[in-house]
Structure formats: C-alpha cells, structure tokens
Amino acid sequence: MAFYSQGSIDILVNLSEKYDRVYNPRISTVSPGNLSLSQRHQPLKPVTGPDAPLRLIVGLSGASGMPFALRLLEVLHGQSVETHLIVTRAAVQTLAVETENGYEMAKSLADHVHSNGDIGAGIASGSFRAQGMLIAPCSVKTLAEIANGIGSSLLTRAADVTLKERRPLVLGVRETPLHLGHLRNMIAVTEMGAIVAPPMPAFYTKSRTLDDLVNHQVQRWLDALGIPAALAPRWKD
C-alpha cells in the first residue's frame, strides 16, 4: 500500500533541491530526469564548513581488523585532531581476541569516549561540527543499518547524521566473501555519500612488516577524510 502519491514525492524532491541550492551550493541539483543512470548514482559531494573544528568521530564495530583501529587512534592522538570514540560491545570482544589490552589502549588514545547506548551524546546531533566520521573496522551488520537509515545505537545514529549533514563518512568494511546483500548495501551507502574503503593491502609499497601494511591503509583512510598523514610511501609522489 502506497502512503505517498507521486505528486507528494515530487514536492519533497523539489524542496530538497531548493535547500541544497541555498545551503549546500557545492552539491549538484540537476534534475534526475536529465541525467544518465550512471550519473544519477554519483555520490553527494561532502560539505564541511571552513570553520569546522578538526574533530573526527571514530567508530569501532565487531569485525576483525582492530590493529588498524588502534594505529589510527595512535596517529590521530599525535596530531591536533580531537577524536570522539564509539566502541560497540562486539568490538570490545574482538579487541580482546586480536590485541592485548586493546580496549583500554583505544580509550586512552581518544579525547572523548562515548557509550554506544548514549543516543543523547553531542555527536548524535547535526549541530555538532566535525570533519567527518570513520568506522573501522566496519561490520556488515553496521553497514546494513547505515544503508537502511537505522539509528538504533549511537554509532549508527552518528553515521546517519554525518550523511545528512553532507560530511565525509568512511566505512572500512571488513568481510569476505561478500554476498549480494552486502554489495547492495555498499551501493546504497555510496549513493548516500559515504566512502566504502575496505582495508586492502598494497604491495607496491614494498612493505616488509604488518605494521607497514597497516600504516598504508590508515593513511588511505585519512586521505579520504582530508587529514594529512605521511605514514607510508606514495606511488610516484
């Protein structure tokens, strides 16, 4: 049963386009009818105000890959980046398996630690300014909730807010192999404006250790967020 007529949907689309022309001029408001299918599926361009504080929301969900998360927090701790950390219950369990005292280390490296159940936290509001948000590792459960606009926890609510405010949201999805539902969720969040950036080892850097591989991936994530980092060699740079 349809609750909205096509006319109502057209009105909402027109209002959204007018809002973006006024408040987000860097976002294209070309009519979808004039675009090809591939053009319609281009992600929204993130908009971050020039006066926004250099804050980053960091989320850890229960997927494997905690060494990436700890290295990320370590790098940000050494820079002038204010970090707001959310760790899910599943992430605490994964930290215990993959690291020694990883949960305590993560909390010590963050400037602010938020309970995943604290929906009233500042980062749950669009009025809280931030450079963006990174979830790494990102489980496919977390991916699915974000793709479907489910903000039942602070992690997914903050991600939803990041998208609606047109700020960069980077998802370090860690799962393999992927079924069709996973891939469709990746498409959905990409169309919303997120950047799906799974941890992928690069061998052109001639990495000698696991730390080298981790550094390269962390650098790639920070690049996507516009945060300077010099952790690994860059190709012909």
* Residue 55 is labelled as binding a ligand: no
147, 189 contact by CB (below 8 A): yes
* Residue 63 is labelled as binding a ligand: yes
* Residue 220 is labelled as binding a ligand: yes
Query: For 32, which DSSP code?
Result: G
b/e string for 126-155 if b means 16 or more Cβ within 10 A? eebebbbbbbbbbbbebbbbbbeeebebbb
* Residue 88 is labelled as binding a ligand: yes
- Sequence-separated contacts (24+) of 224-231 with Cβ below 8 Å: 224/168, 224/170, 224/195, 224/197, 225/56, 225/131, 225/132, 225/134, 225/168, 225/170, 226/48, 226/131, 226/132, 226/168, 227/54, 227/56, 227/76, 227/79, 227/81, 227/131, 228/79, 229/75, 231/75
* Residue 159 is labelled as binding a ligand: no
* Residue 139 is labelled as binding a ligand: yes
Alpha-carbon span 237 to 164, nearest angstrom = 34
* Residue 140 is labelled as binding a ligand: yes
* Residue 134, beta-bridge partner list: 58, 170
* Residue 174 is labelled as binding a ligand: yes
Residue ranges for the known binding site are 62-64, 88, 139-142, 174, 204, 220
Q: Which residues are annotated as a binding site for FMN?
A: 62-64, 88, 139-142, 174
Give the annotated binding-site residues for dimethylallyl phosphate. 204, 220
